[in-house]
Structure 1
Amino acid sequence: MPTPPAPSSAEQLPPRSAAVWAALDPVIGAGTPLRVLDVGGGSGMFAVPLARLGHSVTVVDPSADALATLARRAATAGVGDRVQGVQGDGDLLGEVLTALTPDDGGYDLALCHFVLEVVDDPAVTLREIAGALRTGGQVSVAAANRAGAVLARAVAGHPVEALALHEDRDPATARTRPTARRRFTPEALLALVEGAGLQAGPWRGVSVVADLLDASSGADPDAVRALELALAGASPYREVATGLHVLAARP
C-alpha cells in the first residue's frame, strides 16, 4: 500500500517515529487547530511538536517527574500556553477529564503510544480514550510488536529470551526484576481497538529497521527515515517492526 509522505513538521524528529508522524500528518496538518489528548505522553515527545503546530494538547500521565519534564520542554519551545499536564491514569481517564473540563464535547485527536503494554487493563484504557473523543474524533494507537521483540532479542544474542517472547512468556523470569510488559500481534491490537467501539484503519510497522541499526553505523538519518516510510506499510517488513500503529476513529 502507498505510504504517506513524511510531514514537514517532523523532519527533524527520530526516524523510528517517522511512520507515526506520516499517518498523523493528514489529521494534524489540515490547518485547523485541534484539541489533542495525549495519554501517557508525559515528557512531551509528541505533545510539544503538536503544540508548535498550533494545536492545544492535554497530557495525562501518572508520573509527576515526566510531567515536570513536559512543562520545561513546552516552556523552552515557547508553547507552554498550549500544553497542559495532568497527573492521572489511563484506566481512570473519564474521572480525570470530567474533573478537568466537564461536558466539553470531546477531543479531536487522542494519542495512546506505547501505553497499553503497562496499564492494568488495555481494553478499559482504550474504552476510556474512545469515550473522551468527539464523534468523528480519531485515536493514534502504537504498541510493542511481539514479532519485533522476538527478532530484536535473537539478533542481540539472547535466543532463550527470544523463544520465551515467541511463546508469550516473560523473557526475564530468571532476573532479579523481571519485566511484565505486554507485546501485541497485529490481530490482537486491532481486536482491542475495535472492542473499544472504534473503527480501525490499516495497521503499519513502527521502526522496522531503525532500532536494529547500531548507533555507530553512521547511517544517514534522512535515508533511514525514507526507508522507514517505505517499509511501514509493506509486508513482510512491517510484521517484524519494533512497534505496531493504527489510526482509528470514533463513529
Structure 2
Amino acid sequence: MPTEPTAEQLPARTAAVWAALDPLVGAGTPVRVLDVGGGSGMFAVPLARLGHTVTVVDPSADALATLHRRAQTAGVGERVRGVQGDGDLLHEVLADDGGYDLALCHSVLEVVDDPAVTLREISGAVRSGGQVSLAVANRAGAVLARALAGHPADALALLADRGPIPGRPVRRRFTPDALLALVDGAGLDAGAWRGVSVVADLLEAASGADPADVRVLELALAGASPYREVAAGLHLLATRP
C-alpha cells in the first residue's frame, strides 16, 4: 500500500491537510472513513486508492454521481459508498453504521444551518479514540485576500463578520478560537491547529513558481506563527475520548 497519495493528489493548498492525515491513513492499516460533504470525492477517492473504505454523505445527487464516476475510473468503486443526506441528520442517514475510525468535515461548517449540531452528529458517528479532520475558512485570511485584491469595503465587511453583498447569505469564516470552541462543544479533544493555504493561493498565479517548492514552503508555514494566522483556511484533528 502506498504511504501517501501521489503528487497529483497533493496540491499545495491542501498539503497541510494531507500531512496531518498521513499518520492515520498512510500507516498501511485500512481504516473506515466517513466524509461529510465530500460529494465529488476530492479526498474520498485518494483515500480509497490507499486501501481505505470511505462512506461519503452529501446532500447533492449530482456530486454523488461525480463521486461514483471518479471512483469507478480510479478502480476503487467497491471501496467508496455515496449516501445522500445532510450532516446534521447523520444518526438517521447512517442508522447503525457508526463507529468510524476517521471522519472528514472539510469546507462544510461554513454553509450548514448550525455548525454545532453538525459537528456533534459527526462526533457521534466516530468510535472512541477515532478522529475528526476539520477544515474551515479562516476569517483573517479572507480579510487579507479581499484587501490585497483591491476591495477594502469587502475586507471591512468580512472583518465585521458580514457578507460583502447585502442580502446574500454569509459564508461563515472562523477564527481559531471559534473553531476550538466548536470542537470542545462537540465533546472532542482538539489537537494543534494549522493554516491551510498560507501562501499557495497567492503563489498559484506567480510565473515561474515551482509547484514542488510552493508545497514545501506551504508545509513549513502551516504550523508556524504568525503565518498560520493569516492562512486562507484552518485545519485541526480532534479525537473522540
Q: Does 1:36 align with 2:33?
A: yes
Q: Does 1:189 align with 2:211?
A: no
Amino acid at match of 2:32: R
162-171 or 46-55: bigger deviation: 162-171
- Output the CA distance in 2 between the equivalents of 1:214 and 1:224: 9
Q: Is 1:204–1:232's contact at 8 Å kept on the other side of the alignment?
A: yes
Cross-structure match for 1:9: 5
Cross-structure match for 1:65: 62
Q: Find 1:106's aligned residue among 96, 99, 105.
A: 99
Q: Is 1:10–1:18's contact at 8 Å kept on the other side of the alignment?
A: no
Cross-structure match for 2:118: 125
* Structure 1 residues 40 and 221, CA gap change in structure 2 (3 angstroms): same
- Output the CA distance in 1 between the equivalents of 2:129 and 2:206: 44
Cross-structure match for 1:151: 144
Q: Find 1:199's aligned residue among 189, 192, 196.
A: 189
- Output the CA distance in 1 between the equivalents of 2:159 and 2:207: 28
Q: Is 1:58–1:84's contact at 8 Å kept on the other side of the alignment?
A: yes
Cross-structure match for 2:155: 162
Name the SS of the counterpart of 1:180 in structure 2.
Answer: coil
Q: Is 1:19–1:229's contact at 8 Å kept on the other side of the alignment?
A: yes
Q: Find 2:199's aligned residue among 170, 193, 209.
A: 209
- Output the CA distance in 1 between the equivalents of 2:57 and 2:150: 37
Name the SS of the counterpart of 1:84 in structure 2.
Answer: strand
1:205 to partner: Cα distance: 0.2
Amino acid at match of 1:94: H
Q: Does 1:225 align with 2:218?
A: no
1:70 to partner: Cα distance: 0.4
After superposition, the CA RMSD in angstroms is: 1.2
Q: Find 1:52's aligned residue among 49, 54, 76.
A: 49
- Output the CA distance in 2 between the equivalents of 1:85 and 1:184: 28
1:213 to partner: Cα distance: 2.2
Q: Is 1:34–1:55's contact at 8 Å kept on the other side of the alignment?
A: yes
Q: Find 2:128's aligned residue among 129, 135, 139.
A: 135
Q: Find 2:84's aligned residue among 87, 90, 98.
A: 87
1:65 to partner: Cα distance: 0.6
Name the SS of the counterpart of 1:205 in structure 2.
Answer: strand
* Structure 1 residues 94 and 189, CA gap change in structure 2 (3 angstroms): same
List 4+ stretches of structure 1 deviating above 3 A: none
Q: Is 1:15–1:221's contact at 8 Å kept on the other side of the alignment?
A: yes
Q: Is 1:60–1:90's contact at 8 Å kept on the other side of the alignment?
A: yes
- Output the CA distance in 2 between the equivalents of 1:215 and 1:68: 31
Q: Does 1:180 align with 2:183?
A: no
1:10 to partner: Cα distance: 4.5
Q: Is 2:4–2:26's contact at 8 Å kept on the other side of the alignment?
A: no
Q: Does 1:25 align with 2:22?
A: yes
- Output the CA distance in 2 between the equivalents of 1:196 and 1:227: 33
Cross-structure match for 1:245: 235
Sequence identity percentage:
79
Q: Is 1:108–1:137's contact at 8 Å kept on the other side of the alignment?
A: yes
Amino acid at match of 2:240: R
Q: Does 1:97 align with 2:91?
A: no
234-243 or 9-18: bigger deviation: 9-18
- Output the CA distance in 2 between the equivalents of 1:80 and 1:193: 32
- TM-score where L is the length of structure 1: 0.92
1:8 to partner: Cα distance: 3.5
- TM-score where L is the length of structure 2: 0.96
Cα displacement string for residues 191-224 of structure 1 (whole angstroms, at most 9, x for unaligned residues): 1011100000000000001111242523111001
